């Protein structure tokens, strides 16, 4: 996962840091998610919540916004939760012969990841 703000620099006529030193501002947010995930045949179907439908366009031409939620439990029993809102841009599927499938998914992250500890 890679996410953050682009950095924009501007030359200004007056800068306390010196002549010719640019001033930096945060630009547009961007993020990219690359992942491998395991799915069974039960995860495949015709509903938008099924993995094989998440990258398809809606009737209005827009991509479906997908929420990916990861949970990690540490040794103290605390649960770290990471929620990522994204648009699936590509899914590489394996051959249909395997029952447990490893799919490679790439997505554009549309908003900073939300992290919490419970």
For residues 71 and 83, the answer to whether their CB atoms sit within 8 Å is no
pLDDT of 98 reads 61
pLDDT of 86 reads 94
Residue 41 burial (10 A CB sphere; 0-12, 13-18, 19+): exposed
**Report field, pTM of the whole predicted structure over 0.85:** no
Q: Dihedral sign, CA of 95, 100, 103, 107?
A: positive
How far is residue 12 from each of residues 2, 5, 21, 22, measured CA to CA in Å?
Answer: 31, 21, 8, 7
Could you read off the pLDDT tens digit of each residue along the chain, which spans 118 residues?
Answer: 889 888 888 888 888 888 888 888 888 899 999 998 888 778 877 776 777 788 888 889 888 888 989 899 988 999 999 999 999 988 887 766 666 778 888 999 999 999 999 8
Rounded distance, CA 105 to CA 83, Å?
Answer: 16
């Amino acid at each position: 996962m890679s996410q953050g703000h682009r950095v924009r620099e501007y030359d200004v006529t007056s800068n306390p840091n010196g002549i010719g030193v640019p001033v930096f501002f945060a630009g547009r947010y961007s993020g990219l998610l690359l992942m491998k995930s395991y799915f069974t045949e039960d995860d495949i179907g015709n509903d938008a919540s099924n993995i094989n439908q998440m990258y398809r366009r809606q009737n209005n031409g827009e991509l479906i916004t997908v929420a990916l939620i990861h949970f990690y439990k540490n040794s103290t029993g605390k649960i770290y939760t990471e929620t990522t809102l994204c648009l699936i841009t590509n899914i590489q599927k394996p051959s249909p012969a395997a029952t447990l499938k490893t799919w490679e998914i790439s997505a554009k992250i549309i908003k900073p990841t939300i992290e919490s500890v419970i």
